[in-house]
Amino acid sequence: MKALCTHAVDIHAPAEAVFDYVSDLTRWPAWFGCVVSASQPQGRALAVGEEIHVCMHHGRRRWQEDFEVTRFITNAFLSLEALYSAARRIDFRVERRGRITRLSCAIGYPLYGGVVRMIADAAMGRRRVQRCVRESLVHLKNMLEERAGVAAAPDDLDALSVPPVARPVPQTAAQTVRVG
């Protein structure tokens, strides 16, 4: 069984700048909440088939994951698949929508242990991963928009999942109008 957590944010920055920031592994610890360090052993540029090392953490627990770049299309897609577990994936998709760039991230991970493990993951684990993905993308959005000099937009509240302030519904008064 495989679990999948996805989230997308709209960023007021060029798609090229967003993709360059996402594909620069040395910047991952600055914006990706669950990553301690990310590097490529040979120091070459990312390309399909290249191997990268990512050190992740959850609380005090840290572990090393080795990923292979399975899909790399400049300014569009970056997909990483774990070398020893095909169920563990990280996918980034960059879409240009006018002046706005949409960045989507999907993290897939395997679930072992049957029904009990699925229930525990649905109750706690998946929410933690989903929150990490959402907070990381919002943090990246804020970093890129700050570099681009864009002021915070009203839709940032949606990105942070803060409930909007209730707006009063406009009331219309019914009046009889005499014609003629």
Q: According to the model, what pLDDT value does residue 162 have?
A: 46
- The Cα 104–Cα 77 span in angstroms is 10
Q: According to the model, what pLDDT value does residue 59 have?
A: 80
Q: According to the model, what pLDDT value does residue 127 have?
A: 85
Q: Is residue 176 part of a domain?
A: no
Say if CB 110 and CB 121 are below 8 A apart.
no
Q: Is residue 172 part of a domain?
A: no
Q: Is residue 44 part of a domain?
A: yes
Q: According to the model, what pLDDT value does residue 44 have?
A: 83
Domain that holds residue 16: 2-153
Q: How do 77-82 and 61-73 pair as beta strands?
A: antiparallel
Which residues make beta-bridge pairs with 9?
Answer: 103
Q: What is the DSSP string of 26-60?
A: GGHHHH-TTEEEEE-TT-PPP-TT-EEEEEEEETT
* pTM of the predicted structure, to 2 decimals: 0.76
* CATH number of the domain residue 48 falls in: 3.30.530.20
Q: Is residue 67 part of a domain?
A: yes
Q: According to the model, what pLDDT value does residue 66 have?
A: 93
Instruction: Give buried/exposed letters for 70-88 (b at 16+ CB in 10 A, else e).
Output: eebeebeebbbbbeeeeeb
Q: Is residue 119 part of a domain?
A: yes
Q: According to the model, what pLDDT value does residue 157 have?
A: 47
Q: Is residue 165 part of a domain?
A: no
Per-residue pLDDT of the chain in tens (180 residues, 90 and over written 9): 577 889 999 999 999 999 999 999 999 999 998 899 999 888 788 899 999 999 988 888 898 999 999 999 999 999 999 998 767 899 999 999 888 999 999 998 887 778 887 787 777 777 888 898 999 999 999 999 988 777 655 555 454 544 445 555 566 666 666 775
Q: How many domains does the chain have?
A: 1
- 3-class DSSP state of 119: helix
Q: Is residue 73 part of a domain?
A: yes
